[in-house]
């Protein structure tokens, strides 16, 4: 066999997964979710192709952070304007938008290109236990 087999996108079925983040460590959860988004759990994994699986993460406000991250970790952003630097501590961000913590952790583990941006659109994170994707019949995954 001398030919390389590259699976086509039509062969891949779309799958929805539900992950409960309650009492899960942030980094370990983010690595598992990023692997699922990339499709590394499938035998037909190809690094340059998009995976059709969608991930729903619930209970993002009940995530566990180890060490002194709750008081020491900071999130930095800049508007591009002079004096537009904004620094926010993890503790303040968790009160304001708890979903953003999980989203930023997962996005940092995806490729930094068009593929990574496309894969990030297949992630949905919710702070509470409810989500509006019951019609997709997501499979509950235990990590």
Mind listing the pLDDT tens digit for each residue in 50-86? 989 999 999 999 999 999 999 999 999 999 999 999 9
Is 28 inside any structural domain?
yes
What local confidence, expressed as pLDDT, does residue 3 receive?
83
Is 78 inside any structural domain?
no
CATH code of the domain covering residue 45: 3.90.1180.10
Is 70 inside any structural domain?
no
| Confidence tier at 9 by pLDDT (50, 70, 90) | low
Is 119 inside any structural domain?
yes
Is 47 inside any structural domain?
yes
Is 24 inside any structural domain?
yes
Reported as a single tens digit per residue, the pLDDT across 11-49 is 567 899 999 999 999 999 999 999 999 999 988 888 989
> What H or E segment, with its residue span, contains residue 55?
strand 54-58
Is 44 inside any structural domain?
yes
Is 87 inside any structural domain?
no
Question: How many domains does the chain contain in total?
Answer: 1
* Entry pTM: 0.91
Judging by beta carbons within 10 Å of its beta carbon (0-12, 13-18, 19+), is residue 93 exposed, middle or buried?
Answer: middle
Judging by beta carbons within 10 Å of its beta carbon (0-12, 13-18, 19+), is residue 97 exposed, middle or buried?
Answer: middle
* Sign of the CA dihedral with 88 first, then 99, 96, and 68 last: negative
- Which structural domain range is residue 116 located in? 14-65+97-141
């Amino acid at each position: 066999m001398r030919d390389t087999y590259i699976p086509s996108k039509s062969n891949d079925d779309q799958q929805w997964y539900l992950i409960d983040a309650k009492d899960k460590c942030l980094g370990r959860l983010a690595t598992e979710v990023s692997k699922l988004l990339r499709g590394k759990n499938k035998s037909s994994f190809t690094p340059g192709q998009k995976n059709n699986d969608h991930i729903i993460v619930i209970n993002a406000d009940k995530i566990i952070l180890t060490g002194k991250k709750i008081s020491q970790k900071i999130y930095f952003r800049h508007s591009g304007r002079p004096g537009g630097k904004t620094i926010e501590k993890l503790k303040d961000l968790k009160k304001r938008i708890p979903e953003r913590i999980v989203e930023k952790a997962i996005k940092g583990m995806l490729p930094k290109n068009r593929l990574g941006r496309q894969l990030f659109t297949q992630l949905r994170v919710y702070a509470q236990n409810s989500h509006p994707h019951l019609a997709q019949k997501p499979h509950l995954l235990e990590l």
